[in-house]
Amino acid sequence: MTRSGELPIRVPATMPERTVLDGRYARLEPLDPARHADALFAAIRTDAEARHRYLFDVPPLSAAALREWAEGAVAAADPLFFAVVDKASGRAGGRQSLMRIAPEHGVIEIGNILWGEGIAGTRVAADALFLTAAYVFETLGYRRFEWKCNDANVPSKRAAIRFGFTFEGVFRQHMVVKGENRDTAWFAMLDREWPRLKAGYEAWLDPDNFDGGGRQRTPLRFM
């Protein structure tokens, strides 16, 4: 039995696969060291240290180092890494993963997000998040989609709220990352919230919402 307004529980959910997710502005491709490493290194090389400040991995010093890291990353099914390809250029401009995958509970997390300066804050990054959420809820049947970050990472917390995740609190002294304490801020969206959030994404990502220079006419918002 479910309470009024609740969706029926669908567990177990399905494990995500190494598949291509194609959108208007972004395409998520299973991370391939040979195909994506050079473009990813070029996308972050000018500010790699800053963009890795709150990540688990360290900034690569070369495309070869990034390729070596990627070869290790793709060996695991959790986290499951994807390259974020900017469809306008055809080049990978970032990476992200699905992780802490618990199909028995219907819970999954997006993490290891590194969007290079060419796509961060653009419709490419928003489309990448939209594609992931749609895949998680509509194809795989998850109940809960999480975003977690270091509580000191203010840009990540702002992004989570902008993308429709709800702040749920801070787990103090949750981890030690690179020898430093991490208090972890937790955010999530639920399957019953997805229809409303999806409508907001679709309206914002509509080509008519952007001028000739790619600037938004109205901001991303959820009714």
**49-103 pLDDT, tens per residue?**
999 999 999 999 999 999 999 999 999 999 999 999 999 999 999 999 999 999 9
Averaged pLDDT for residues 193-201:
98
**156-180 b/e with 16+ CB inside 10 Å = b?**
bbebbeebbbeeeeeeeebeeeeee
Domain interval for residue 34 = 21-209
pLDDT of residue 1: 43
Domain CATH for 193: 3.40.630.30
Residue 174 falls inside a structural domain: yes
Residue 205 falls inside a structural domain: yes
**15-49 pLDDT, tens per residue?**
999 999 999 999 999 999 999 999 999 999 999 99
Residue 115 falls inside a structural domain: yes
Handedness of CA 115, 117, 119, 122 (dihedral sign): positive
pTM: 0.94
Residue 162 falls inside a structural domain: yes
| Total of domains in the chain | 1
Residue of 84, 66, 182 lying closest to 127 (CA atoms):
84
pLDDT, mean over the chain: 95
**167-187 pLDDT, tens per residue?**
999 999 999 999 999 999 999
Residue 183 falls inside a structural domain: yes
